[in-house]
Structure 1
Amino acid sequence: MSKVLYIKANAKKPGESRTFRISDSFIEQYKKLNPDDEIITLDLYKEGIDFLTEEGVSLHVPKEGEGKNHPILKYAYQFVETDKYIIAAPFWNLSFPAILKAYIDYICVTGITFKYTADGAVGLCQGKKAVYIVARGGEYSEGSTKAYEMGDRYLRTIFGFLGITDFTTIAAEKLDVIGEDVEAIVQNAIKNAQNKARNF
């Protein structure tokens, strides 16, 4: 049995997010195929994730006695104890919502999700896998605008830093381009997500 963390980062009301339409379909398919797995949904906006304060920054090297119930460190412990990750976040301003970056600052903690060695930093989340699901208004996976895409690149890099190199992206693109069949694009992304869920 695997533990799956479904990380959601979108401020839109339920039913309005195209990203969540795709990611929820992925989750539904995954549940059908893996009914015994534990799926934990972490909605960052409902969770009230905030930017790290001076106190939070000092926790990046946990002190003795600061455990899994700590209001900030609990996210790093939850992350390292998870086997699979689904990150659902829209493409905002060439990246993703700032709340997701704030969450990443919570989980990147020395001694929990990575450590320093004589040879440098080593991720402590090896052998895990992640899928990033994103809806984009334009086309950023190829062509002249590919260089502007920073969300997928950042997530791949930071997850790799933590030891997670099995990383897949499912993107629905050109959703705000005039003349495009938006619903058809979303449906194709949903089918892609359901197919990817079979081997996740």
Structure 2
Amino acid sequence: MSKLLYITANPKKEPRLSKGAQIGEVFLETFQTEQPDVEIERMHLYDMEIPRIDMDLLYARAKLSFMGYTFDQLSDGEREKYTNMHALADWFIAADYYVFVTPIWNLGAPGILKEFMDNMFLVNKTFISTEQGPRGLLTNRKAIHIQTRGGIYSTGPMADFEMGDQYVRKALTFLGMDVMDTIVAEGMDHFPKQTPEIMAKAKEQAIEAAKAMAKRTITT
């Protein structure tokens, strides 16, 4: 049975409050129609306790990677946080498909998404270092990002300032994933009267993208 992780980074997780969640639900419904046996697991980041890279985690990673310590020689706090980080990464790695739903905030994604993704960059688990540079190990996963934007970032003077979708795509690509084209609903704050048609277009894109993702073969 394949598994899909649906990851949302918005305090407004209910579809009636979140336009991104409305688009995401359309994606999920379509995907499940195409793959009825898929297991869908929802990860609402604002409901989770996400390990943050603090002093304990910095020292734990350094001690184990190049300072010659064993796991048992770490402090209690270091061991706990290091274990939690790897447990979260193991949970993430266990999926086949990934759907990220975020708004753009202050040119980027919500900070909680970066905290979450910091737990996924683990050498020899999600990527390795080679003579040619780092190589992602999550090569048999498919991912897509759904992003809502109040302004216009796809063209015009703000195009160079969009760093939320760029971060998500580059982070997942670094880890080795096959990342599909982003579904974007933008301009809803600038053109509120056009919101219904903007949303309708994004939902159509979500339907087509879900069908395309569901047809992609997962190779193990």
* TM-score, structure 1 normalization: 0.90
Which amino acid is the alignment partner of residue 76 of structure 1? A
Match of 2:138? 125
Match of 2:88? 75
Q: Please say if residues 84 and 130 of structure 1, whose CA atoms lie closer than 8 Å, have aligned partners that are also in contact.
A: yes
> Aligned equivalents of 2:134 and 2:143: distance in 1?
20
CA offsets per residue over residues 41-85 of structure 1, 9 Å max, x none? Answer: 11100113253212223348686698xx93221121122222111
Q: Displacement of 1:19 after TM fit?
A: 0.7
Q: Displacement of 1:171 after TM fit?
A: 0.4
Q: Does 1:96 align with 2:97?
A: no
Distance 1:165 1:34, change over 3 A: closer
> Aligned equivalents of 1:84 and 1:179: distance in 2?
33
> Aligned equivalents of 1:171 and 1:188: distance in 2?
9
Q: Displacement of 1:179 after TM fit?
A: 5.3
> Aligned equivalents of 1:161 and 1:13: distance in 2?
28
Match of 2:43? 42
Q: Does 1:110 align with 2:111?
A: no
- Bigger radius of gyration among the two: 2
Q: Please say if residues 6 and 41 of structure 2, whose CA atoms lie closer than 8 Å, have aligned partners that are also in contact.
A: yes
CA offsets per residue over residues 91-129 of structure 1, 9 Å max, x none? Answer: 111111000000010111112111122332111111321
Q: Which runs of 4+ in 1 moved over 6 A?
A: none
Unaligned 5+ segments in structure 1 are none
Distance 1:182 1:47, change over 3 A: same
Unaligned 5+ segments in structure 2 are 73-78, 214-220
Match runs of 1:109-188 below 5 Å: 109-178=122-191, 180-188=193-201
> Aligned equivalents of 1:34 and 1:145: distance in 2?
38
* TM-score, structure 2 normalization: 0.82
Identity %: 34
Q: Displacement of 1:13 after TM fit?
A: 5.3
Q: Please say if residues 59 and 73 of structure 1, whose CA atoms lie closer than 8 Å, have aligned partners that are also in contact.
A: no
Match of 1:9? 9
SS of equivalent to 1:28: helix
Q: Displacement of 1:167 after TM fit?
A: 2.8
Q: Displacement of 1:168 after TM fit?
A: 2.2
1:87 to 100, 111, 135: 100
